[in-house]
Structure 1
Amino acid sequence: MKKFLETAGFLLFVWGAAGVIHELTGWFKLWGVVRRLGFLDGYELYASIALGVLGVVVMVAADRLGRQSR
């Protein structure tokens, strides 16, 4: 379970960071997950930031889960 959460958190963080970079510079067109969601038009930057923060939170939760099981 810990490895799954770490991987999911890492992917969320990378997608969020790529979305922020895409919104600010125009790079990483293929990595942007948020820009493909039509209901977030105009809020892509905020959603990408939230996605990155969510990824960090999931990775921290996975780390804490691993410490408790020992």
Structure 2
Amino acid sequence: MVSQFINEFDTLGLYFGLAGIFAFIGLAIKDVLNSGNVPKFGRYIVWGVLFLGCSGFIAKGLIQVFWQGAGVG
């Protein structure tokens, strides 16, 4: 019973930690774009790539949860 709680806590800590890292990456990119006077089109490309990376990570997590719930993985 205790090991199940430790595993859940570990998983939640990993996901929140990675979300924090993505947030810090976003803040760093925002700072670099503002200090570098990047044109709007370039900013859209950079934020689009960052969004696709985050959405891929979220999709991977959701697929993993659904597959494990169905007994596939």
- Shorter-chain TM band: 0.3 to 0.5
Rg larger in structure:
2
TM-score (norm 2): 0.45
Q: Greater helix share, 1 or 2?
A: 2
TM-score (norm 1): 0.46
Larger RCO: Structure 1 or Structure 2 (Cα < 8 Å, ≥ 6 residues apart)?
Answer: 1
